[in-house]
């Protein structure tokens, strides 16, 4: 299915879903309570037939956190991305390992680095950091003696370069 057909098919079944405006791929913003029904639909519907999870991660926007899942299908040759918005103080979401076993290690890594708790995960423990590590390093407010922010304001740096036209104009 092409991306347009996919989009119209899904929006027909779930008309309330919005698309992520900034994304260059087809990304659906899914409310947290419809996450599992939507994923089950994506797996079991014969014209959807999504077979595995390619990547599962979380992004920390400072007000909220979003879990991003990329899934694909080899038989139908299409891909989709799903985003679920979570509360940043207490991020909890259900696991999808019962649908796609490949999400197991990805969810463990997301828990390890961002602190997102996955309900009913078979084995949720740290995978990349040591078992007694405290804190979730990839969060934006994580303080560590070695993390020194570089100046985000590039006007000082740009003084050394010749005048360049606006790259996007």
Partner 1 sequence: MTLAPNISLGKEEGLKTEEFVVNIGPQHPSTHGLLRLVATLDGEIIKEVVPHIGYLHRSTEKIAENRYYHSFVPYTDRTDYISAMLMNWGYVMAVEKVAGICNPMRAEVIRVLIGELNRLASHLLFYGTFGMDVGAFTPFLWAFRERENILRLFESLCGQRLTYNYYRIGGVSHDLPKDWVGNLQKWLAHFKQVYKELYDILTYNVIFLRRTKGVGILSKEQAIAWGCTGPVLRASGVDWDLRRDETYSVYKELKFEVPVGENGDVWDRYWVRMQEMLQSISLVEQCLAKLKELDDKLPRLQRGSAEWKENAMFVIRTQSVLQVEPGEAYVRIEAARGELGYYLVSKGGAKPWKLKIRSGAFCNLSVLPEITRGKLIADLIAILASLDIVLGEIDR
Partner 2 sequence: MEKLPIYTQKIPGGGVLLTATDKLMNWSRKSSIWYMLFGLACCAIEMMATGASDYDLDRMGLIFRGSPRQSDLMIIAGTVTLKMAPRIQTLYEQMPEPRYVVAMGNCACNGGPYRYDSYSTLMGVDKAIPVDVYITGCPPRPEALMNGIIELQKRIDRMSLKDKMAIRV
Q: What does each C-alpha distance from 156 to 70, 125, 151 come to in angstroms?
A: 38, 44, 9
Nearer to partner 2, 63 or 152 (CB): 152
Chosen residue from 10, 30, 104, 121 binding partner 1 by CB under 8 A? 104
Residues forming a β-bridge with 71? 53, 80
CB 117 within 8 A of CB 131: no
- Token digits of residue 69: 């899942």
b/e for 57-79, b at 16 or more Cβ within 10 A?
Answer: bbebeeeebbbbbbbbbeeeebe
> If binding is defined by CB under 8 A, does position 168 make contact with partner 1?
yes
**Per-residue binder mask for partner 2 (CB under 8 A), 117-156, x = binder:** ------------xx------x----x-x-xxx--------
CB closer to partner 1, 33 vs 131: 131
- Give Cβ neighbours of residue 30 (< 8 Å, ≥ 6 apart): 17, 38, 82, 83, 84
Interaction of residue 19 with partner 1, rule CB under 8 A: no
Positions that interact with partner 2 (CB under 8 A):
129-130, 137, 142, 144, 146-148
Positions that interact with partner 1 (CB under 8 A):
20, 22-25, 27, 51-55, 57, 59-60, 68, 70, 74, 77, 81, 100-105, 113, 126-130, 137-138, 147, 149-150, 152, 154, 157-158, 161-162, 164-165, 167-168
């Amino acid at each position: 299915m092409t991306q347009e057909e996919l989009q119209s098919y899904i929006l027909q079944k779930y008309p309330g879903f919005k698309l992520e405006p900034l994304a260059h791929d087809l990304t659906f913003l899914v409310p947290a309570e419809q996450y599992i029904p939507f994923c089950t639909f994506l797996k079991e519907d014969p014209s959807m037939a999504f077979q595995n999870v390619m990547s599962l991660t979380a992004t920390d926007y400072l007000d909220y956190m979003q879990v991003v899942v990329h899934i694909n299908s080899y038989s139908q040759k299409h891909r989709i991305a799903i985003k679920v918005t979570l509360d940043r103080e207490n991020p909890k979401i259900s696991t999808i390992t019962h649908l796609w076993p490949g999400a197991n290690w990805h969810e463990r890594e997301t828990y390890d680095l961002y602190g997102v708790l996955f309900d009913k995960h078979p084995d949720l423990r740290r995978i990349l950091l040591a078992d007694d590590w405290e804190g979730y390093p990839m969060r934006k407010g994580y303080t560590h003696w070695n993390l020194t922010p570089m100046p985000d304001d590039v006007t000082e740096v740009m003084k050394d370069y010749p005048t360049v036209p606006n790259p996007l104009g």
